Amino acid sequence: MSARAAGSTWQTAVVPSRAARYMYVAVGMFFVGLGALGVVLPVVPTTPFLLISLWAFARSSHRLEAWLLAHRLFGPRLVEWRKHRVIPWSVKLTAWGSMLGSLTLMIITGTSLVAIIGAGSVMAIGATYVASKPSRPPSVPLSPERVEGGP
């Protein structure tokens, strides 16, 4: 599946400089590695790292961009993000839970008030951004139990 076939609605520009392309590929591979760690380590997020990888590959290698979009595990969420800016509920809950857990840990361990306020402010911005995105593509209708007033 090519990047265009995966629903890319914006142009991806290949960086003309060879050194810059290698840098973007290195950044992309580094964040794919971090994203892969997130699959097995519950405290490491997967999706944000893969989004950074997708961004870097879009600027350096259409082949690697297409590979990531077509990936069996990672591709579907990345394609939905690119098409509709969708963040599934499971990802939202994981993000909010991780933020809350990190902030709680900072408070319990006696981290300075300035650090707690700073981190809490950044987390609040992140939580608001995540909440502002849809949880499913616009073409997916509500299930019957949700239409009839289910949770």
Q: Would you say the pTM of this structure is higher than 0.85? A: no
Q: How far is CA 136 from the centre of its chain?
A: 14
Residue 51 pLDDT > 60: yes
Residue 44 pLDDT > 90: no
Residue 42 pLDDT > 90: no
Per-residue pLDDT, averaged over 117-128, amounts to 94
- pLDDT value of residue 2: 47
Pick from 37, 29, 34: which is nearest to 54 by CA? 29
pLDDT tens digits along 62-81: 999 999 999 999 999 899 89
Instruction: State which amino acid sits at residue 108.
Output: I
Spell out the domain ranges in the chain: 18-84, 89-137
The answer to whether 53 touches 68, Cβ cutoff 8 Å, is: yes
Query: What is the C-alpha separation between 5 and 66, in angstroms, rounded?
Result: 9
